[in-house]
Every structure is written in structure tokens, then in C-alpha cells.
Amino acid sequence: MILDKLETTVSYRCPHCGSGVVSLVGAFSLSADMLRLRCTCGNSEATIVYRRDKKVSITVPCMFCSSPHVFTMSQQMFFGRELYSFPCSYTGIEICFIGNRKKVLEALKQSDKELLELLGDATPDDIRAPSASLTDPQIFDIVMFVIKELDAEGKIKCRCEGRGEYALDILDDSVRIMCKRCGASVEVPTNSVISANAFLHADSLTLT
């Protein structure tokens, strides 16, 4: 019964609209297979999974990377810290905050200032999509190289059992990888240097 009274606040910044998503998470709600924290814009979500080893895994979308980041922590740390933050592994900027609601909101506000200082006169959209024009050939080459390497190593996954049948759709500012069998797909941005470099270090690619 004591476990059910535990609660904490989780926050992340939506990479699509820039809003801070703040949600109260209790131990009872966490007992489900997966808890989803969605942005009101409907374009992003963070997922929280309570694992069998009693650890908590959090998958958080990132403003700077094309793929989300996964963080794992103990149940005691998840519910017991006043404030805990996780950074983007590529930029070092904190993208997820967990803890006391007041502390989390203060940290989110502070991250706004740091982000604005980093961007200067630019905006988050300028980093993710600096131009509506055709993709820079160098960025496109990086993305295509990684996709081909992952495919050759069998590290592209979809809803099919075993290996799917993958095809590429080249768009103006992204590459869509899709499976002809199950219909799962994912788009990788090709108009951002930051996203392309982050994708260069991808260990796998999951189509949804």
C-alpha cells in the first residue's frame, strides 16, 4: 500500500512544438506495461516502463537528435530524488527532468534560458530544419550511408518476424524507410547537421 502512494513529476520538451510536457507519475499508474506521456500537440511522447528487475526505463524524444534517448534508473531514484535530469548524449543539454514538481518546473525554466543562449538569434526550428530548401548533399550522404550500414548488418527492425522488406522514399528534407510487408516506417531528417551527426552513431533503427 505504501508503494501506491509514491509519486514524482516527469518533464520533457517536445521537439515538434517546443512546449514543456509535465506530468505526475504515481507508482500505481507505473504498474502498467507502459506509461505514455504525450504532448498536447500530438506529435511526441515519452514512454516509461517499469521493468521486471524493478528498474525504470524512460524513452525521451530529443530536440536535437532524430532518435529518442533511453535512460534507466532504479525505482528508488525515480521516486526518491528531489530533482534528477538526463542530458542529450550528443549536445549535453538536459532534455528530461524527474522529481519534485516545483524543482522540475524551475529546472525546465532554467533549461529555456540555456537553450536560448545556445541558439542566440536562432530558434529550435532553425537547428532541426535550417532551410526549407533541398537537403544538403553532404548531410544526405551521411544519412544514406548509415541506413545502408544498418540494413547490411540486419539492425533495421519493424513489426515483421525476422527481417522485413525495406524500401526508401527520398523526400525534400528527409528519407523515409518503410517495410513493404508490415507497413511500418520512420523518417530520418536530412536537413539538420546535428540530426545527421547524431544518426551517424545510431546502433539500430526501429520502424513503427
Residue 135 shares a structural domain with residue 192: yes
Contact 62, 68 (CB under 8 A): yes
Confidence (pLDDT) at 97: 94
Neighbour order of strands in the sheet with 174-179: 166-170, 174-179, 185-189
Confidence (pLDDT) at 10: 92
Confidence (pLDDT) at 106: 92
Residue 60 shares a structural domain with residue 81: yes
Structural domains in the chain (count): 2
Confidence (pLDDT) at 129: 34
Contact 188, 200 (CB under 8 A): no
Confidence (pLDDT) at 128: 43
Contact 96, 76 (CB under 8 A): no
Residue 142 shares a structural domain with residue 103: no
Cα 120 from Cα 15, distance rounded (Å)? 18
Residue 116 shares a structural domain with residue 139: no
Q: Which residues constitute the domain of residue 52?
A: 3-126
Paired residues of 13 in beta bridges: 20
Of 126, 156, 173, at which residue does a domain stop? 126
Contact 94, 71 (CB under 8 A): no
Residue 137 shares a structural domain with residue 69: no
Residue 97 shares a structural domain with residue 16: yes
Of 85, 107, 126, at which residue does a domain stop? 126
Residue 153 shares a structural domain with residue 168: yes
Residue 148 shares a structural domain with residue 85: no
Residue 20 shares a structural domain with residue 119: yes
Strands 69-74 and 55-60: antiparallel
Residue 102 shares a structural domain with residue 47: yes
- Going residue by residue through the chain (208 aa), what tens digit of pLDDT does each one get? 334 457 889 999 888 777 888 888 877 666 556 788 888 888 888 888 888 788 888 999 887 777 788 888 888 888 888 999 998 877 778 889 999 999 999 998 888 777 766 655 444 444 443 333 334 556 666 777 788 888 888 889 999 988 888 888 777 677 888 898 999 998 887 766 666 667 777 888 899 8
- Of 98, 77, 125, 124, which is closest to residue 22 (Cα–Cα)? 98
Cell of 122: 536562432
Residue 194 burial (CB count, 10 A): 20
Of 78, 109, 126, at which residue does a domain stop? 126
Residue 29 shares a structural domain with residue 117: yes
Residue 107 shares a structural domain with residue 23: yes
